[in-house]
Amino acid sequence: DVTARVRLERRLADVMEAEHKLLENIFPRHVLEHIATSAAVNPCSASQFNLSMLNAMPDPTKTATDHEQCTILFSDIVGFTQMCKEVPAKTVMRFLNDLYTRF
């Protein structure tokens, strides 16, 4: 009976698909392709890429692009998710506006 193995393989495929979708939402395609082709494993397309390949990118500056009059800021606010559950949306928006205006 191979039922357990089939279920495990389906679950693994689901997890890998979720990982790929997450990466595709975070990184531009050209970054994914660069990481995938720079990996120590055989070059593969961005859709076959996984998180362990992030460490294989030897020089991230090679994927940098330049856009005049554009700034992107990635930030992580400790406790933000919990705050959003407890504080009214307008208060959260005022907090974010004040915080990023200061930047």
Q: What are 58-87's pLDDT values in tens digits?
A: 666 666 677 788 777 778 889 999 999 999
Q: Looking at residue 9, what is its pLDDT?
A: 93
Question: What would the two tokens of residue 101 be?
Answer: 């205006």
> Which amino acid, 45?
S
How far is it, in rounded angstroms, from Cα 102 to Cα 88? Answer: 22
Owning domain of residue 18: 2-102
Would you say the pTM of this structure is higher than 0.75? no
Supply the pLDDT for residue 24.
83
The tally of domains found in the chain comes to 1
Question: Which residue ranges of the chain lie beneath pLDDT 70?
Answer: 35, 38-64
pLDDT of residue 40: 42
DSSP 8-class letter at 57: -
